[in-house]
Amino acid sequence: MARKATGAHEDHELLRFHKPGEDDFTKSDPWRVFRILGEFVEGFDALSKLGPTISIFGSARTKKEDRYWQEAARIAEELSNAGLAIITGGGPGIMEAANYGAEKGTSDSVGCNIELPFEQTPNPHQDISLSFRYFFVRKMMFIKYSIGYVIMPGGFGTLDELFEALTLTQTDKIAQFPIVLHGKDYWAGLLAWIENTLLKQGCISKEDINILTVTDTVEETVEYILHYCKTHEYL
């Protein structure tokens, strides 16, 4: 059963089909460009001051007692203490865990919050808190200012961030950086489908699979990210 949104928001209005002759089409859409531009300027201005940064993604619905909540917090804290700022989507669940861990560390804890009709409430563990109306602007901030992604278990939003990074890397739109899937059991089904369906059907190449790295412990994830950062002289 489809979820019913509780109210309109900017992405909804931007992407909604406007019938010919609707009064607000020529009035609202051109002016919306300036609002979008303002979000880019605000994001670039705030995040350009950060040092090397890792984005951590995962479900907004994960509870604090969950294994992956605890591990996200530990990963973020260790990376923060190593000198890496942490960016999340700024909401609850895994995002809050990562901001919580980063806040305990020595580097910046950043939240790129998104306006949604449900679920997204900014968590209180952010040194820098930005709010975006538009998903594509927010996603630009993650890609532009991150030198690595840690993908914790999550839903459609997490998969969206994952596959955008994979696509941009595969098509050489961005330089390859670490894309770490944390949690072997959680990601096993997706990885099997990628290999047994996408690869076998010739929709991707073997090299495309190598863009991903799978880890299962905090130590593995932290070690892999730090090794990459030191090799590339980010730290």
Give 173-231 pLDDT, tens digit per residue: 999 999 999 999 999 999 999 999 999 999 999 999 999 999 999 999 999 999 999 99
Task: State how far the Cα of 94 lies from the Cα of 73, in Å rounded to an integer.
Answer: 8
Enumerate the domain spans of the chain: 24-231
Q: pLDDT band for position 62 (50/70/90)?
A: very high
- Count the Cβ atoms, other than its own, within 10 Å of residue 116: 17
Return the biggest CA–CA distance within the chain. 59
Task: State how far the Cα of 90 lies from the Cα of 82, in Å rounded to an integer.
Answer: 21
Q: What are phi and psi of 88, to 5 degrees?
A: -130, 180
**pLDDT value at residue 4:** 39
Q: pLDDT band for position 155 (50/70/90)?
A: very high
Q: How many residues does the chain have?
A: 235
Q: Are 162 and 151 in contact (CB under 8 A)?
A: yes
How would you list the strands of the sheet with 109-114, edge to edge? Answer: 128-132, 109-114, 85-88, 53-57, 148-151, 179-182, 212-215
C-alpha 113 chain-centroid distance: 11
Residue 114, SS3 per DSSP: strand
Radius of gyration of the chain (CA): 18
pLDDT over 60 (residue 19): no
Task: State how far the Cα of 139 lies from the Cα of 146, in Å rounded to an integer.
Answer: 11
**pLDDT value at residue 3:** 37
Task: State how far the Cα of 230 lies from the Cα of 98, in Å rounded to an integer.
Answer: 22
* pTM metric for this prediction: 0.88
Task: State how far the Cα of 48 lies from the Cα of 142, in Å rounded to an integer.
Answer: 12
Residue 53, SS3 per DSSP: strand
Task: State how far the Cα of 117 lies from the Cα of 108, in Å rounded to an integer.
Answer: 28
Q: Are 54 and 149 in contact (CB under 8 A)?
A: yes
Q: What is the mean pLDDT of residues 9-28?
A: 57
Per residue in 181-202, is it b (16+ CB within 10 Å) or e — as a string?
A: bbbeebbeeeeeebeeeeeeee
Task: State how far the Cα of 43 lies from the Cα of 129, in Å rounded to an integer.
Answer: 10
Q: Which structure tokens are listed for 171?
A: 């098509």
CATH 3.40.50.450 assigned to domain 24-231? The reply is yes
